[in-house]
Amino acid sequence: MGLALSHANSRNQPASTSSRAPWFVLPLLFAAILGLEVAVWSAAKPSTATLTLEGQVVKLAELLKADDVQVDADAVPFVLALRTQDGKLLPIVKTLGSRALFQDGRLLNRPLQVRGRLAAGGSVLVIDRFYTLKNGVPHEVYYWCETCAIRRDYPEKGVCECCGGPMELREVPLPR
């Protein structure tokens, strides 16, 4: 602002081509530099960007066997990764959004669409939501007790907290 004003005052000075640049050039230049800085900042902060990825969630422990890594048996269920379509492996942490994947093996090794973000400098996938893909169509996943009409996003122990009956895995296509 101050710079733009002092630049405007230079009109009173003997004119040369360079000092007669239109008054709006400097603010535009600053805006461009600021915009660039914002772009660089967001590139360095991948955790803020929401991603949609497709791939399969796999047990890392099984892949690691090929490299002679023996994962402790009690850790095996908690070491999952998304294998993306282009072959990248992104470790997944167990959070509310990924909990069903850690609790229900039926969701592993099959096509999924995953929405989430990369954390820890881009090396860990945090899942907000996931959908199973059937013929390329995303399906919402939930667990349902028919007796009590109770719906949950993850199966916990696979039994209804109310009647003790089974929680049935449901996959419902998203409306197009």
Return residues touching Zn ion (CB under 5 A): 145, 147-148, 160, 162-163, 165
Whichever of 62 and 168 has its CB closer to Zn ion, that residue is: 168
Whichever of 91 and 158 has its CB closer to Zn ion, that residue is: 158
Length of the chain: 176
Minimum distance of Zn ion from residue 67's CB (angstroms)? 44
Minimum distance of Zn ion from residue 31's CB (angstroms)? 59
Minimum distance of Zn ion from residue 160's CB (angstroms)? 3
Residue 75 sits at the vertex; the CA angle it makes with 73 and 80, to the nearest 5 degrees, is 120
Alpha helices for the chain (secondary structure H) = 2-9, 25-44, 60-64, 99-103
Residue 143 has a CB neighbour count (10 Å cut-off) of 21
Whichever of 35 and 164 has its CB closer to Zn ion, that residue is: 164
Whichever of 79 and 160 has its CB closer to Zn ion, that residue is: 160
Minimum distance of Zn ion from residue 43's CB (angstroms)? 48
Output the CA–CA distances (angstroms, integers) from residue 42 to 6, 46, 89, 170, in the order listed: 33, 7, 23, 38
H/E run at residue 138: strand 137-145
